[in-house]
Structure 1
Amino acid sequence: MKRVTGLGGIFFKAKDPKALNAWYQRHLGLNVSEWGGTTFQWADDNPPGAGMTLWTPFKADTDYFAPSTAPFMVNFRVADLHALLAALRAEGCDVQDKVDESEYGKFGWVIDPEGNKVELWEPPAGS
């Protein structure tokens, strides 16, 4: 079974996400979109096609990374979210009960041994 197939995004907390976006846009040339992040496009050979990685600062008081208290969260692309979550549960991992499914794909979460929340993302078909 395929597990992680790539890096889906890096998310972190910021005291002032808009100001930080402006700094990265001005000084490092990131093309920050209106929704507040940057998408990096790249070619993927497994499966063939285009892919993307997100760079997104969150507000410092977000609870999106909870129950982790870390100021970041890594998002990994996966091939079959439900199968992977079942395998992680069977392996004794701390898998969160919640799964989100939307036009953006399927999202699930696991907590690593140090308490960091890791987001697992199965992109929508054709992405």
Structure 2
Amino acid sequence: MAKVTGLGGIFFKSRDPAALGAWYARHLGLNVEEWGGVRFNEDAQRPGYTLWSPFAADTGYFGPGAQPYMINFRVDDLDALLAQLRVAGVEVDERIDQSEFGRFGWIVDPEGTRIELWQPPA
């Protein structure tokens, strides 16, 4: 039986893709490539990767209408990253959730998108 083997990408609209890419590079350390996106290789033993890439706000790629989404980034030290983002002036939600799935915090990017940061359990 054929099945899904991983996430192929995260694609979304942006008012200013280049500026938003620069913000994510500066504040979250994403390695934004020349073409405007980020390639995540989660398992070097398997082909494929996950992509992160903003699209122009008027793109037709997603079809007509608004497309809601949520981005969740895995992080290695939630407390340190949230502290670093606060110092940089990024909007940080004061709430942190903890469960058997790990710890979760939230920030808001310059376009008003709520981003979830996840530190998996040790």
**CA distance in structure 2 between the partners assigned to 1:29 and 1:69 by the alignment:** 28
**CA distance in structure 2 between the partners assigned to 1:62 and 1:71 by the alignment:** 15
1:122 counterpart residue number: none
Correspondence 1:1-127 to 2 at 5 A: 1-43=1-43, 49-67=46-64, 69-70=66-67
**CA distance in structure 2 between the partners assigned to 1:49 and 1:13 by the alignment:** 29
Greater relative contact order, per chain length (Cα 8 Å cut-off, separation 6+): 1
| TM-score, L = length of structure 1 | 0.49
| TM-score, L = length of structure 2 | 0.51
What is the CA-CA distance between 1:42 and the residue it aligns to?
1.5
What percent of counterpart residues are identical? 62
**CA distance in structure 1 between the partners assigned to 2:31 and 2:22 by the alignment:** 10
**CA distance in structure 2 between the partners assigned to 1:2 and 1:36 by the alignment:** 32
Structure number with higher strand proportion: 1
SS in 2 for 1:7: coil
Which structure 1 residue ranges, 5 or more long, are not aligned? 73-127
Structure 1 segments of 4+ aligned residues over 6 angstroms from their partners: none
Which structure 2 residue ranges, 5 or more long, are not aligned? 70-122
**CA distance in structure 2 between the partners assigned to 1:54 and 1:42 by the alignment:** 11
**CA distance in structure 2 between the partners assigned to 1:71 and 1:59 by the alignment:** 15
